Amino acid sequence: MPQIRESLGSTTFRLNCPPIVPPIQNSEHLDPYLREILLDTLDISYLINNRLRSGAFDLVTFQEMQVSIGYRLFQFSSLGSPRHECAVQAAYHVGLTIFLMTMFLQFDHRRMMDYDLISLRLKDVLGGGLDRQDESGLLLWLTLIGGIWVSRDAHREWLGPKLRREAQRLGLESWDKALDVISKFPWVHTLHDEPGHTVWDIAHSRGLVPLTRPDEVVSRLH
């Protein structure tokens, strides 16, 4: 059983949804350890997105969940190591890493470091032929969550065309339709919907510019 679901099940929390892995082709190639991390991250998303029904959770619990995900992602593979040969696995690894980082580093724009390894790995994975293996929306999710992450990077023009091509390939003509797809993946609506929508709009207007977001991240989680 995924660690976070098991831990929450032993406390006052009860997750009233079954763990669901988004439908992916070649899912048998997803490492069981990485699959558990994915399930736990989906549970975190569900817990935050449904917090009004599930009850508020304290900051210590939130931090412990984040540290658990981050530790296991690093234990699975470091960003400095060669990209995994399985494109789906590589996509989930960098996507979950970016999801985690956006939870506490993205929106106040006060990064003290550039975290270049993340952006470089993202670009590497997005250029690794995932579009030939995926019909589930994984590439769309990775492109959008990645677009939120690289929105302030100096060299980010490559991402807009990638997002437009993937949306066209999936037959998605609006942000609402795209959101229906990516909501199956780790995604916190109060944190990611607005910047994700901005990434979508700007990419479809042939460019990417920095996103403007308020600094009150923590208040969005309560």
pLDDT of residue 71: 94
- Which DSSP symbol is given to 22? P
Domain that holds residue 194: 3-15+24-221
pLDDT of residue 206: 61
As a whole number of angstroms, the distance between CA 72 and CA 34 comes to 8
State how many domains the chain has. Answer: 1
**Tokens 């999801």 map to which residue?**
99
pLDDT of residue 159: 87
Longest Cα pair distance anywhere in the chain, in angstroms? 49
Higher per-residue confidence, 79 vs 19 = 79
**Which of 90, 79, 89 shows the shortest CA–CA distance to 30?**
89
pLDDT of residue 117: 86
- Residues ≥6 apart with Cβ < 8 Å to 112: none
Confidence of residue 219 (pLDDT cuts 50, 70, 90): very low
**52 phi and psi angles, rounded to 5 deg:** -65, -30
